[in-house]
């Protein structure tokens, strides 16, 4: 049997000083793509998210939250507050291509682990800082958390029912997008470094990213001067494009063009709707949303979700159910695409994880190891990269450094 090819980033080593979600998400993605990612954690407790449960993985101390964003990494415990610990981290940085960190602005300077300090010992280092508001501006010193950034950055004003509370997304949307943008920024900086030899300090901010992914809604405001409002599951620019109640549940109807609308109307027994001047084009349907949506709702309510999906899919009218997560992971397409990955775990035996969704025809893009237990790789990493003997490591442990 041929050996599994190395991932596309197998030549890279990442020093991950981040914790919680945005930074770890970036590190996890780089690990999925083959990079060696060394996660530095406090000897006592480690990353805060290890304790963010329940639920916890059976027979382990690992929370589901921690498991969601740390697959494929190595865990090394070092006390950053001690001079010996700071020296070890600086030495590790010289062996790495990238440093990820999400401390408050200036928070690592007192440890000698800020960009300028590490650049002095490794000029071509790519150093990615992730904060709530960036390295400058009037809010730079504020702490930033996903929930509050969703509020400040506008997405909550667009999410929820018109007469209900502004609502955050069901996952930490801003943190995850920031992790993704940070990954793109790191890879671009590495590409430039490989041509020029130059290092780079990348300044990523949760608020910047949240504003950046407002997409068409931001342009709806910038183009019209009118701030969009919450519309529940409706779409501001397309009609009908929302969830409707069926006989036994709900259906997402996602009509994207006039032809799809005409086919829907025929299948619903109302072909006349597609000829009505109020509804003939998408622009007219948006203008006359209040008249059309109740009619469509009445039609959709006459059949079951499964019935609608069967007839609409047959005529290429986009639609779908609203699945719970047990239904998601039982879906035949999700199973076929291998989106649940099972890996060995030193405490629980095995752990089920979500697989990386990137697919290459030649390279792997999934984790080859489970999220590490706290300090699982300390001895191996410090021995192989820094040449520390067992006796030296024992002495450091006795001092509380490791």
pLDDT digits (tens, 9 = 90+) for 109-166: 999 999 999 999 999 999 999 999 999 999 999 999 999 999 999 999 999 999 999 9
Q: Please determine, for residue 328, whether its predicted confidence score (pLDDT) is greater than 90.
A: yes
Identify the sign of the CA torsion 276, 280, 284, 290: positive
| Lookup: tokens for 119 | 């650049």
pLDDT digits (tens, 9 = 90+) for 58-115: 988 899 999 999 999 999 999 999 999 999 999 999 999 999 999 999 999 999 999 9
**Residue 243: beta bridge partners?**
252
* Backbone phi, psi, residue 280, to 5°: -65, -40
Would you list the domain boundaries of the chain?
13-214+370-399, 250-321
Q: Do 70 and 402 meet the contact criterion of CB atoms below 8 Å apart?
A: no
Q: In CATH, which of 3.40.50.10540, 3.90.600.10, 3.10.105.10, 3.40.50.720 is domain 13-214+370-399?
A: 3.40.50.10540
Rounded CA-CA distance 89/101 in Å is 12
Query: How far, in Å, CA of 305 to CA of 244, rounded?
Result: 10
- d(Cα 359, Cα 337) in Å, to the nearest integer? 9
Rounded percentage of the chain residues whose pLDDT exceeds 70: 99
Distance CA 369, CA 342 (A): 10
Asked if pLDDT for residue 1 goes beyond 60, the answer is no
pLDDT, mean of residues 295-321:
96
Q: What is the pLDDT of residue 63?
A: 97
Q: Does domain 250-321 have CATH number 3.30.1540.10?
A: yes
Q: Using CA atoms of 255, 256, 258, 263 in order, give the dihedral in degrees to the nearest 10.
A: -40
- 355's tokens: 């697989």
Assign 3-class secondary structure to the chain: CCCCCCCCCCCCEEEECCCCCHHHHHHHHHHHCCCEEEEEECCCCCCHHHHCCCCECCCCCCEHHHHCCCCCCEEEECCCCCHHHHHHHHHHHHCCCEEEECCCCCCCHHHCCCHHHHHHHCCCCEEEEEECCCCCCCCCCCCCCHHHHHHHCCHHHHCCCCCCCCCCCCCCHHHHHHHHHHHHHHHHHHHHHHHHCCCEEEEEEHHHHHHHCCHHHHHHHHHHCCCCCCCCCCCCCCCCEEEEECCCCEEEEECCCHHHHHHHHHHCCCHHHHHCCCCCCHHHHHHCHHHHHHHHHHHHCCCCHHHHHHHHHHCCCCEECCCCHHHHHHCHHHHHCCCEEEEEECCCEEEEEECCCCCCCCCCCCCCCCCCCCCCCHHHHHHHHHCCCHHHHHHHHHCCCC
CA of residue 299 relative to chain centroid, distance? 37
Q: Which of 16, 175, 208, 377 is catalytic?
A: 175
Place of tokens 């865990």: 75
Q: What's the pTM value of the predicted model, to 2 decimals?
A: 0.93
Taking CA atoms, 81 is separated from 141, 266, 378, 398, 402, in Å, by 21, 69, 17, 16, 11
**Per-chain mean pLDDT for the chain:** 96
pLDDT of 366: 86
Own/partner long-range contacts of 137-144 (Cβ < 8 Å, ≥24 apart): 139/207, 140/105, 141/104, 141/105, 143/104, 144/205, 144/206, 144/207
| Six token digits for residue 282 | 């998408």
Describe the crossing of helices 305-314 and 258-267 by its angle, rounded to 10 degrees.
130
pLDDT value of residue 34:
96
Any catalytic annotation for residue 175?
yes
- What pLDDT sits at residue 3? 63
Question: What residues are paired with 56 via a beta bridge?
Answer: 63
Region class of 349: left (phi > 0), else alpha (psi between -120 and 50), else beta: left
């Amino acid at each position: 049997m041929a050996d599994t090819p190395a991932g596309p980033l197998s030549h890279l080593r990442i020093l991950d000083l981040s914790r919680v979600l945005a930074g770890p998400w970036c590190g996890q993605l780089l690990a999925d793509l083959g990079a060696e990612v060394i996660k530095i954690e406090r000897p006592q407790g480690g990353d805060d998210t290890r304790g963010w449960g329940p639920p916890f993985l059976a027979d382990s101390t690992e929370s589901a939250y921690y498991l969601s964003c740390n697959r494929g990494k190595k865990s090394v415990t070092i006390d950053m507050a001690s001079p010996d610990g700071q020296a070890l981290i600086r030495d590790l940085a010289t062996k790495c291509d990238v440093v990820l960190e999400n401390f408050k602005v200036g928070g690592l300077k007192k440890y000698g682990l800020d960009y300028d300090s590490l650049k002095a010992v490794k000029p071509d280092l790519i150093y990615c800082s992730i904060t709530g508001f960036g390295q400058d501006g009037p809010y730079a010193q504020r702490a930033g958390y996903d929930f509050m950034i969703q509020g400040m950055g506008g997405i909550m004003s667009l999410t929820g029912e018109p007469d209900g509370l502004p609502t955050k997304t069901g996952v930490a949307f801003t943190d995850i997008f920031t992790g993704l943008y940070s990954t793109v920024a790191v890879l671009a900086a590495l590409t430039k470094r490989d041509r020029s030899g130059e290092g780079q300090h990348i300044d990523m901010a949760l608020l910047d990213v949240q504003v950046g992914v407002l997409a068409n809604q931001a342009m709806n405001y910038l183009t019209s001067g009118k701030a969009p409002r919450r519309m529940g599951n409706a779409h501001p620019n397309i009609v009908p494009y929302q969830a409707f109640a069926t006989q036994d549940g709900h259906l997402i109807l996602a009509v994207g063009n006039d032809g799809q609308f005409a086919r829907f109307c025929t299948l619903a027994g109302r072909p006349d709707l597609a000829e009505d001047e109020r509804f003939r084009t998408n622009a007219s349907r948006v203008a006359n949303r209040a008249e059309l949506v109740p009619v469509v709702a009445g039609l959709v309510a006459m059949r079951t979700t499964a019935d609608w999906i069967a007839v609409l899919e047959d005529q290429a009218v986009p639609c779908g159910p609203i699945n719970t997560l047990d239904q998601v992971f039982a879906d035949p397409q999700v199973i076929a695409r291998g989106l649940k990955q099972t890996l060995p775990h030193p405490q629980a035996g095995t752990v089920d994880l979500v697989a990386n969704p990137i697919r290459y025809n030649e390279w792997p893009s999934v984790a080859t190891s489970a999220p590490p237990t706290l300090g699982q790789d300390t001895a191996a990493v410090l021995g192989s990269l820094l040449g520390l003997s067992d006796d030296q490591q024992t002495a450091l442990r006795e001092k509380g450094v490791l």
